[in-house]
Amino acid sequence: MKQDDIEKRTYVSFDWAIKRLLRKKADFKVLEGFLSVLLEKEVKVESLLESESNRESANNKMVVVDVLCKLNNGDLVIIEVQFFHQADYFQRMLYGVSKVLAEHLKTGEKYEKVKKVISVSLVYFNLGHGKDYLYHGQTVFTGMNVGDELELSALQKQAYVKASPQELFPEYYLIKINNFNDVSRSPLEDWVYYFKNSELPASCDKKILSLLSEQLKYKSMNAKEKQEYERFNKSKRIWDSTIDTAFMEGVEKGIKKGIKKGIEKGIEKGIEKSKIETVVLAFKNGADISFISKVVSLTEDEVTAILKNEGLM
């Protein structure tokens, strides 16, 4: 094997890195490197913040990663890595931003103190319908009669140090990892290549190579970290297999039953059955009720009712 091939296959996955390795101030430069490329400006991470939306419970075994960064200019950045399909993920993004906004405005403070929030989602499932791998959303006010774009007044520009209203409102960056075709032509695509493959392309931006080589080499972890990392990856594989198997088996059973009553109704029943089977299998594999409810899009009470009905609680 060539030295380049050995070099590019030694990095830990990004979801593991931000969940376990990049939470010290000395290690912020990896997050800064990625955000600087994505936002197309120099970014400095001042601190990582705790939020109701990113706090882990003691029994949490979920692979979802939620990091809240405060930048040196005061902006807040949410970074989320999501592997499991969620039909309501767009609403989840909105809720996450809204929660952070509410948490960081103290009672009695003026609205001018509302923080700028940037949401960055790395999703490993097919969200929405679109061919690109990178999407950007922001709020723009357009005149409904004359088609002009609403701007800030001169006084507002001076007071807020912003050029337009969209700079005040939340922004969303959605990276659909599986849509990326593994052809890297820019530093940002070098990052996305790494997110998808846990390695770097043969020809990679030197700055990114330096950052990952310093911080995220697998061989630099101690024995305990390596053991935890292997368990983490095994857990992801089990979750993926459990959910896929339960869904397919449920749909198959539903279709068979639906032959008598109609294929459409059978599929609907199959999907309902798959949720029950997913709940049972996930609980048996050690998942907590909070996580299961998010995966199958049921309330925690509904999950608890299923587990009681199956004799597991």
Q: In whole numbers, what is the pLDDT of the chain averaged over residues?
A: 80
How much is the pLDDT for 57?
Answer: 40
- 235 and 63 Cβ atoms separated by less than 8 Å: yes
Place of tokens 């030295």: 3
Instruction: Express as a percent the part of the chain with pLDDT over 90.
Output: 34
Amino acid present at 299: T
Place of tokens 């723009």: 140
How much is the pLDDT for 59?
Answer: 37
How much is the pLDDT for 3?
Answer: 38
Tell me phi and psi for residue 161, to 5 degrees: 55, 45
34/17 Cα distance (integer angstroms)? 13
How much is the pLDDT for 37?
Answer: 95
Is 64 a residue whose pLDDT tops 60? no
Place of tokens 């939470």: 23
pLDDT (tens digit, 9 = 90+) per residue, 67-107?
A: 899 999 899 999 998 877 777 899 989 999 999 998 898 88
Range in 7-21, 51-65, 66-80, 214-228 with the lowest mean pLDDT:
51-65
At 9, is the pLDDT very low, low, confident or very high (cuts 50, 70, 90)?
A: very low
At 144, is the pLDDT very low, low, confident or very high (cuts 50, 70, 90)?
A: very high
More confident residue, 239 or 82: 82
Residue ranges of domains in the chain: 3-220, 223-309
How much is the pLDDT for 86?
Answer: 77
Q: What mean pLDDT is predicted for residues 150-174?
A: 93
Range in 8-12, 228-232, 291-295 with the lowest mean pLDDT:
8-12
How much is the pLDDT for 221?
Answer: 72
Q: What mean pLDDT is predicted for residues 164-184?
A: 95
More confident residue, 98 or 282: 98
Q: 216: closest CA among 200, 237, 231?
A: 200
How much is the pLDDT for 263?
Answer: 46
- 47 and 25 Cβ atoms separated by less than 8 Å: yes
313/292 Cα distance (integer angstroms)? 15
At 250, is the pLDDT very low, low, confident or very high (cuts 50, 70, 90)?
A: low
Instruction: Express as a percent the part of the chain with pLDDT over 70.
Output: 78
Is 294 a residue whose pLDDT tops 90? no
Global pTM reads 0.71
Is 63 a residue whose pLDDT tops 60? no
Q: Which residues contact 91 (CB under 8 A, 6 or more apart)?
A: none
Amino acid present at 34: F
How much is the pLDDT for 153?
Answer: 95
